[in-house]
Structure 1
């Protein structure tokens, strides 16, 4: 008889969840808990200082503008320098800017320009952090379980975002926005400390390049040379813009006029967050064979919230729609990350990620600014139906790209360009799983 001492120990975590992956996931949970609460706190800090809705919008725009301006530079820097150092430096900038913001709020009445400046510093940090973080995660995960690893990572992030928003709202009501901003600064400090322990010895040293502009051009060639990549980024440039405008501008107005106020709208947004967690859980078990076909088909439901607001439907129906949208959008998110991991050379991951992020956020400020004039010109209901129609049109257009329909999951990843071998075609290896 074999004793318990002689029996092999079960590993405490899966083989794909190594040290770097665990550190990245833990740090992402910490920062999402803090940052989603701080978004609520920043808005209430502006209002408590005597500002109005327009001032809240200015502070939000102050964060988005440097994010758009510096994303491409951030991607080039992250592919040139050790990514974990870029992430830690960005976390330090976010920590200091949020700590200063918290100090101003707790000390008295902060000025609008001060809040805009500090929020802009936070957006700058995010512009350098995001491409580095995505490149670091993708270089950490390998093998057939990459999709599952990304799904678990995203599930942890989405759960933390959902919890952070709920906790932030409670803390703002109980203690005031200043303490929530201080907690976010502490979260960035903890996350930066965790990321400083990342091991980058598995990443080949970068070869000397021709400078920042040369790196940007090389990243552009990598991006523009893949129709499936730029096709979907263009799709989401439009989809994110119109959905963001619908939810940021029209959603609260519909909630006020037809649904009973902020409470039901907050519940609907919470259902969307719960849907993203459920979608990530689904993707820990499902490996769609045609990655981008499955993911892009799951973008069509993104039109449903705008349509539901246009009707408008009862709160219960809106919550169900938001939950379904969250599930399907997360299917796309995991499929997209898996495709990038499979197809993009390791030494260009952050630059490609930067172009992806840039396309995703570039039109959001413009669409949000145009939401009011569009309502005046066409009416709120027509504007919402227009948002839904645009999502359907650009998603259908993305499906017209052959590579979007045909890119196939492989059983193993061929060597990356950083190791001297370019990725093969999408069908170079036997595919895994199936669609359906």
Structure 2
């Protein structure tokens, strides 16, 4: 009987694939910015490429959730990894050819964005299918730690590739990482119970009914969306403030690296602390993002701003594993991909708004106004979820042995699946790793990215 998630063969394959592809992805943003700037000398061209990746992703996320629930999540993830591998290799070859075409790169970015819309909802179902019981929080914490480490090392790897071999090689590396992830997924074996034939509209409505039936969930998603909007404000205004008032470009590099380190520390802490009220604890940790926004608005000395960013991103790192585990615990397995797609959609939708409004507000009222407004909103919305009964109570009864507090999912016509419900997606060769001493209604545990 294994006592560590990496002792499970299915999760081990998933973890290695996710870690490698995340590292490849972390090297791409810096390489893309440098490559497009070198090729066009235009920030508008970079915005076009980024928009081509983001817009189809947001539009197709709910459809991706339906596909992830209706078909085998492993096969969907494998196919999207192959598509993204080809898209990134194409961009890499364009850049290595010496005369990159902006329309070609934009088109490849759109293809990658479409693939991501179908890939992102499969992440949580695959974790739920390969890990059960009290090990699930540790598994999500491990994935969060790998993400933090990748964000910490990715920019350095990108810089090494850009200044030694050229930015195209960062995309070649990312494409290879997706290909490796697909190869590992091809070896993963999980059971899949086909869904009954039904319309796309019915699937979408059923997934949304699961979301709105839980006050702790949809109110938290609003707070998470505000967090992403505030993050967009910081990413838009922060580099210029760092360059002009905090000592130069090096201050912004230090701030981003401190954030990556904080994300890593927060993920490690989530796997060890195991709070009794995970949703409340995670949202309160997320409210710490007001600190770097205030530090940049003042502006505070560079060391203070760097420390504030580290603390704020530690809050995000703490939230992510808790949120993923709670979602995997509370929603029926057959709706998990759709629920996750709505999660991503609502959480990310405010980011483009932040990118657009932050420079307009800064031009009209100065940089301090949008930074302070974002700080106030993110603190109020994230900490304000404590006023929601479901957020306060979630986990309290489970800690006392009565199971988590949650509303039934009306669309499914029955309460959410608990540990006593047989999980048909559990890998055949790992069905005996469950701890028989674990209480049945506590065998599914903790949260988001």
Contact conserved, 1:273 with 1:326, CA < 8 A, in 2?
yes
Map of 2:105 onto structure 1: 115
Map of 2:344 onto structure 1: 357
Residue by residue, what CA displacement relative to the aligned partner does 1:1-43 show, whole Å, maximum 9, x if unpaired?
A: xxxxxxxxx97x7267411111111011111111111111111
Separation in structure 2 between the aligned mates of residue 20 and residue 430 of structure 1, nearest angstrom = 22
Select which of 177, 201, 216 maps to 2:167. 177
Deviation at 1:394, TM superposition (A): 1.3
Separation in structure 2 between the aligned mates of residue 149 and residue 81 of structure 1, nearest angstrom = 24
CA 1:20–1:432: 2 relative to 1, 3 Å: closer
CA 1:212–1:432: 2 relative to 1, 3 Å: closer
Separation in structure 2 between the aligned mates of residue 195 and residue 88 of structure 1, nearest angstrom = 6
Three-state SS of the structure 2 residue aligned to 1:196 is helix
Map of 1:406 onto structure 2: 393
Separation in structure 1 between the aligned mates of residue 162 and residue 171 of structure 2, nearest angstrom = 9
Separation in structure 2 between the aligned mates of residue 432 and residue 105 of structure 1, nearest angstrom = 46
In the alignment, is residue 250 of structure 1 matched against residue 237 of structure 2? yes
How many residues are treated as equivalent by the alignment? 417
Contact conserved, 2:5 with 2:11, CA < 8 A, in 1?
no
Separation in structure 2 between the aligned mates of residue 394 and residue 431 of structure 1, nearest angstrom = 31
Select which of 202, 205, 216 maps to 1:214. 202
Select which of 69, 72, 89 maps to 2:59. 69
Three-state SS of the structure 1 residue aligned to 2:187 is coil
Instruction: Specify every segment of 5 or more residues in structure 2 that has no aligned partner in the other structure, as ranges.
Output: 420-439
Separation in structure 2 between the aligned mates of residue 269 and residue 156 of structure 1, nearest angstrom = 17
Contact conserved, 1:33 with 1:165, CA < 8 A, in 2?
no
Three-state SS of the structure 1 residue aligned to 2:276 is coil
Select which of 367, 380, 392 maps to 1:380. 367
CA 1:307–1:341: 2 relative to 1, 3 Å: same
Contact conserved, 2:133 with 2:444, CA < 8 A, in 1?
no
Residue by residue, what CA displacement relative to the aligned partner does 1:243-273 show, whole Å, maximum 9, x if unpaired?
A: 22222x1011101111232222111111111
Map of 2:28 onto structure 1: 38
Separation in structure 1 between the aligned mates of residue 276 and residue 42 of structure 2, nearest angstrom = 50
Map of 1:422 onto structure 2: 416
354-363 vs 395-404, which moves further: 395-404
In the alignment, is residue 142 of structure 1 matched against residue 152 of structure 2? no
Three-state SS of the structure 1 residue aligned to 2:273 is coil
Map of 2:71 onto structure 1: 81
Three-state SS of the structure 2 residue aligned to 1:284 is helix
* Within-5 A mapping of 1:16-415: 17-201=7-191, 203=192, 205-247=193-235, 249-408=236-395, 410=398
Three-state SS of the structure 2 residue aligned to 1:118 is helix
Deviation at 1:430, TM superposition (A): 7.4
CA 1:180–1:268: 2 relative to 1, 3 Å: same
Instruction: Specify every segment of 5 or more residues in structure 1 that has no aligned partner in the other structure, as ranges.
Output: 1-9
Contact conserved, 1:228 with 1:403, CA < 8 A, in 2?
yes
CA 1:369–1:227: 2 relative to 1, 3 Å: same
Deviation at 1:144, TM superposition (A): 1.9
Deviation at 1:431, TM superposition (A): 11
Contact conserved, 1:287 with 1:432, CA < 8 A, in 2?
no
Provide TM-score, normalisation by structure 2. Answer: 0.87
Deviation at 1:119, TM superposition (A): 0.9
Deviation at 1:157, TM superposition (A): 2.1
Deviation at 1:57, TM superposition (A): 1.6
CA RMSD of aligned residues (A): 2.5
